[in-house]
Amino acid sequence: MRRTARIGGAAAIVAAMTVVAVQPASGHPVHDFGGDATTVLKGTNYTGVVEDVSPGGVPMEAQSGVRCEDGMAGIFPCHKVDLASFTPLPDLEATFLNDLWGWEDSETGMQVAIVGSFEGTAFVDVTDGENPVYLGTLESSAPGDQGNIWGDVRVYEDTAYIVAEAIDLATYNPATGDLDGFGIQVVDLTQFRGRTGPGTIEKTAQIDDVTQSHNVSLNVETGRMYVVGSVYDVADECGTPNPGFPVLNGSGGALVYDVATDPNAPKLIGCMNADGYSHDIHCVAYSGPDADYQGREICIGSNEDTVTIYDATDASDITVIDRLTYYEEGLEVGDIYTHQGWWSEDQTYFFLGDELDELSGAVPERTTFIWDLTDLDDARVIGEHGDGNTSIDHNMFVLDGLLYQSNYTSGVWLYDSWKADKGRLTMRGYFDVYPADDATAFAGTWGNYPFFGDGKVVATSSDEGLFVLQSRAKSSSTNRGQGGAR
C-alpha cells in the first residue's frame, strides 16, 4: 500500500520527526494560549485508562429507563429529554469515543448506532432504546496511538463509510513520503440482520486513496460522498505536492466519490481544491429559494476561517460561489475555527458552529451563527444565538424544525429553529451527559444522531460512553405554534 501523506491532524507528528519547517493546515483546532502553538486541544486528557467514574462524573455502570423529572434524570441535568439507556465504555470494548451515525434496516426496522472509538468502530443495536445490544467492534485499519482520537462515519442505503486520522508511523519512509494509515473502510450493514450479540465484523472493501481523513459527509439524494480533511495520493489534479517535502500532498479539500452506482465500490469522480482545506461539509440537492441554483448540487464547507459555498454539480469542475467571513478583521485561525454546520430543511438557512471562539474569548458565551441563504450569491449572518452557557458547541443537525446540537461538557441541546428568519433559536430541551461541569473544554459529547425519526437520539460522550436519549421536545413549526411538548 502506498499512500503519500499531507501533514494534518495526527500526521503532524510526522513533522516532529523531520527538520523541515512546514506549518500546513491542521485537521482539528490548535491554539496558542501562551504555550506551544501546535498543541492539539482535543484528546489531551486521553490516557487509555477508564476509571470507575468518568471525568464527567458518570459511573461506568449501564443505566436505562430514567425519565427526566424536575430537571434531572438521575444524576443528569435535563429538560424534556429522557435517558433511555447509557452504555459505558467498557461495555463497548472502548477507551474513548468520537463521532457516530446511524442505520435503519429498511427490511427489518433494526436500528444500529455506528460509533467511532479509539479502538475502531463499535456497532450497537438500539432498536429497543432501553435495551441496547453491543454487536462488536471493527478494528482500526491503523491500530496504535496516532490519530485514533478523530473519526467519522456516514451511511448510504445499507453501506457504512468510516474514516479516521489514524496513521501507522512505523511505515513512514521520509525519503519517499510513504505512510500507511486508516484509509476508508466500507462495511455492508446487512451482516447485522439477525445478530443478537457481539461477533466478528467484516469489511466489504478498503479504499487506500487517502492515508487519513478528518471527516466524511454524504448526500443521500445524489449518492455523493465527500471525504474532507484528507491526506491523499490520487490523480494529479487533486494533489498539491510540495517537492521539498514529499510527505505533503493534497490541499485537504474534499475528495468526491460516487457511491450510488455501486455502494460497495465507491468511485472517485472529483476533488474540491478551490478553497483549500475543509474541516466539514454539507451538500444538498438544492431546491431552496435561489432560483439561479435550483436542481444543482450545492455544498457549504466549514473551512477553518470561512464559510465557503460551492457548486459541485459537475464533480470534475467544482466552483466556488462565495467565500464568507463572519468575524471582524484581526481574528484568525487560532482565535476562531469554522467547524461544522447544517442546512435548514427548506434550504433557506445555515446554522454554523465555531469550535474555538468560546475558548479564545472571541465570544462571551456559546454561540451559533444563523446565516440567511435566500440569495446564495449574497449570504449573510442574521443572528448569533447565545444562551449564557460556557461550553463549546460541536456537531449539529436539523430534523423537524429542531436543531440537535452537541455541546461538549453541557450535553445535547435541542433548539427550535422556527424563528430562524428573525435570527433566533429557542431552547426546547437538553440532556447533559457530562454532569460534572460546563467547562469551556474539549470533553463530553462529541456528536449525536437524531435521524431515526422516532424521538430517539443517540449521542457519544468521549470519556463516558454511548447515550440513547428519548426526546419529548417539539418545534413550534410542527406543533401548531404551541411550543415544545410536555
CA atoms of 308 and 277, how far apart (whole Å): 11
Between these two residues, 80 and 5, which has the higher pLDDT value? 80
Q: How many structural domains comprise the chain?
A: 1
What pLDDT sits at residue 485? 41
Q: Could you tell me if residue 151 is inside a domain?
A: yes
Q: Could you tell me if residue 243 is inside a domain?
A: yes
Q: What percent of the chain has pLDDT over 70?
A: 85
What pLDDT sits at residue 40? 46
Give me the phi and psi of 358, to 5 degrees please.
-70, -40
Q: Could you tell me if residue 315 is inside a domain?
A: no
What pLDDT sits at residue 276? 86
In this predicted structure, the answer to whether residue 484 has a pLDDT above a threshold of 90 is no
CA atoms of 439 and 123, how far apart (whole Å): 30
Q: How far apart are the first and last CA of the chain?
A: 56
Handedness of CA 429, 287, 224, 109 (dihedral sign): positive
Three-state SS sequence of 292-341? HHCCCEEEEEECECCEEEEECCCCCCCEEEEEECCCCCCCCECCECEEEE
Averaged pLDDT for residues 240-264: 75
What pLDDT sits at residue 236? 60
Averaged pLDDT for residues 381-387: 96
In this predicted structure, the answer to whether residue 250 has a pLDDT above a threshold of 70 is no
Q: Could you tell me if residue 224 is inside a domain?
A: yes
116-125, 247-256, 339-348: segment of lowest average pLDDT: 247-256
Of the pLDDT bands very low, low, confident and very high (cuts 50, 70, 90), residue 332 is confident
Which residue type is seen at 117?
S
Averaged pLDDT for residues 219-233: 90
In this predicted structure, the answer to whether residue 480 has a pLDDT above a threshold of 80 is no
Q: Could you tell me if residue 155 is inside a domain?
A: yes
Of the pLDDT bands very low, low, confident and very high (cuts 50, 70, 90), residue 209 is confident
Between these two residues, 227 and 17, which has the higher pLDDT value? 227
pLDDT tens-digit readout, 172-197? 877 776 778 899 999 999 999 999 99
Q: What is the largest CA-CA distance in the chain?
A: 66
Domain extent, residue 177, equals 1-46+96-262
Q: What average pLDDT does the structure give for the chain?
A: 87
Q: Could you tell me if residue 354 is inside a domain?
A: no
Which residue type is seen at 151?
G
31-35, 181-185, 232-236: segment of lowest average pLDDT: 31-35
CB 274 within 8 A of CB 310: yes
| Residue ranges with strand state E in 71-166 | 72-73, 76-79, 81-88, 97-104, 111-117, 120-125, 133-139, 151-156, 159-164
27-31, 343-347, 393-397: segment of lowest average pLDDT: 27-31
What pLDDT sits at residue 237? 63
What pLDDT sits at residue 10? 36
Of the pLDDT bands very low, low, confident and very high (cuts 50, 70, 90), residue 246 is very low
Provide CB contacts within 8 A for 313, sequence distance 6+: 296, 297
What pLDDT sits at residue 44? 61
Averaged pLDDT for residues 271-295: 95
Averaged pLDDT for residues 365-383: 97
Q: How are beta strands 97-104 and 81-88 bridged, if at all?
A: unpaired
pLDDT tens-digit readout, 308-330? 999 999 999 999 999 999 998 88
Averaged pLDDT for residues 285-297: 98
In this predicted structure, the answer to whether residue 9 has a pLDDT above a threshold of 50 is no
Nearest Cα neighbor of 429 from 467, 472, 390 is 472
pLDDT tens-digit readout, 86-140? 999 999 999 999 999 999 999 999 999 999 999 999 999 999 999 999 999 999 9
Of the pLDDT bands very low, low, confident and very high (cuts 50, 70, 90), residue 67 is very high
Q: Could you tell me if residue 450 is inside a domain?
A: no
In this predicted structure, the answer to whether residue 483 has a pLDDT above a threshold of 50 is no
Q: Could you tell me if residue 51 is inside a domain?
A: no
What pLDDT sits at residue 13? 31
What pLDDT sits at residue 36? 41
